[in-house]
Amino acid sequence: MDKKKIVIALGGNALGNNLPEQMEAVKTTAKAIVDLAEDGNEIVIVHGNGPQVGVINNAMTEFAHKDGSEPTPLSVCVAMSQAYIGYDIQNALREEFLNRGAKLPPVATMVTQVRVDPEDPAFRDPSKPIGRFMSKDEALKEAGDRGWIVREDAGRGYRRVVASPKPKEIIELSAIRAMADDGQIVICCGGGGIPVVAEGKHLAGVPAVIDKDFAAELLAESLDADMLLILTAVEKAAVHFGKPEQRWLSEISAEEAERYAEEGQFAAGSMLPKVQAAIRFARSRKGRTAVITLLEKAREALQGKTGTRICEK
């Protein structure tokens, strides 16, 4: 089989929802990744951080309440989550390579900043809920005290919402490339990256969340990868998902995928960003392929046996 340069985007199921779940989940995740590495592929890993950054953000906010200090900015919470998750994945990969008696490649995490455009329209319509639920009074107080934007969340109370701008530039790209070219497994752009905007020479963290599927796509293009492999909790994307006429998609062109997306076949905030990232990657250069599949089916998907494969025909 051809050896490929693959950017893997790991979904929430690769890490679980809390500390003990993550310790277990990374073992399965490591198996899937080491399979691909043992086949000779060059691997760069991007991962989500929803539950982890949620816990860190809640803890830091509580602490600030208690001691009256400024709450830790969300961008710093993302940086913390990258380190914590990278630490667990590094360890799990190391153990899996050793268990197989395989040669252990260097595995390292790169704390990654991703530049966003301060004029991104997403900043005018923050929609991504983060942190704990609050009563209306509490939410309005936080909004006044801290400048948070708060919104009612499906009858369950109020939450802070932040923007989800598009990634524009991966600041640590050349370091990531040097490590990957050297045969190292790199974990980077965690949680979509630490969102920053350029203020002269300074990169300022902004309270926002970048979609990890879009960040993985930008990384895959920037590294000139052959494949964007999006590993999630379903084996394939489907049309009429969850309905009696549901149909799994195996091999589709970018054009076909776009048509389905326009029809509203993929849920916003879950499958839609994956399909959009896949389309963008497939169109970015001939021969580039994006595959969406189940974490445990990564190797099979690479052999063309399963998954939803999107390429320019």
What residues make contact with ligand ADP under the rule CB under 6 A?
11-12, 48, 232-234, 237-238, 241, 265-267, 270-271
Nearest to 94 by CA among 30, 35, 21: 30
Active site residue 212: yes
> Which residue minimizes CB distance to ligand ADP?
11
* Residue with Cβ nearer ligand ADP (90 or 232): 232
The token pair that represents 272 in the structure block: 């839609």
Among residues 13, 41, 49, 57, which one is catalytic? 13
| Residue 91 C-beta: closest distance to ligand ADP, Å | 21
| Residue 288 C-beta: closest distance to ligand ADP, Å | 21
| Residue 136 C-beta: closest distance to ligand ADP, Å | 29
| Residues 6 or more apart whose Cβ sits within 8 Å of residue 141 | none
| Residue 245 C-beta: closest distance to ligand ADP, Å | 12
* Residue with Cβ nearer ligand ADP (150 or 228): 228
* Residue with Cβ nearer ligand ADP (48 or 86): 48
Active site residue 13: yes
Among residues 5, 128, 141, 166, which one is catalytic? 128
Active site residue 297: no
| Residue 222 C-beta: closest distance to ligand ADP, Å | 21
| Residue 257 C-beta: closest distance to ligand ADP, Å | 11
Active site residue 243: no
Among residues 193, 274, 297, 307, which one is catalytic? 274
Structure-derived torsion over alpha carbons of residues 118, 123, 129, 133, reported in degrees to the nearest 10 = 100
Among residues 16, 131, 193, 212, which one is catalytic? 212
Nearest to 75 by CA among 129, 115, 109: 115
Residue 107 contacts residue 187 (beta carbons within 8 Å): yes
Q: How far apart are CA 249 and CA 253, in angstroms?
A: 11
* Residue with Cβ nearer ligand ADP (17 or 72): 17
3: burial class by Cβ within 10 Å (0-12, 13-18, 19+)? exposed
Active site residue 136: no
* Residue with Cβ nearer ligand ADP (225 or 292): 292
Among residues 12, 16, 48, 191, which one is catalytic? 12
* Residue with Cβ nearer ligand ADP (29 or 41): 29
One-letter amino acid for residue 208 of the chain: A
The token pair that represents 205 in the structure block: 């963290």
112: burial class by Cβ within 10 Å (0-12, 13-18, 19+)? buried
Residues tagged active-site: 12-13, 128, 212, 274
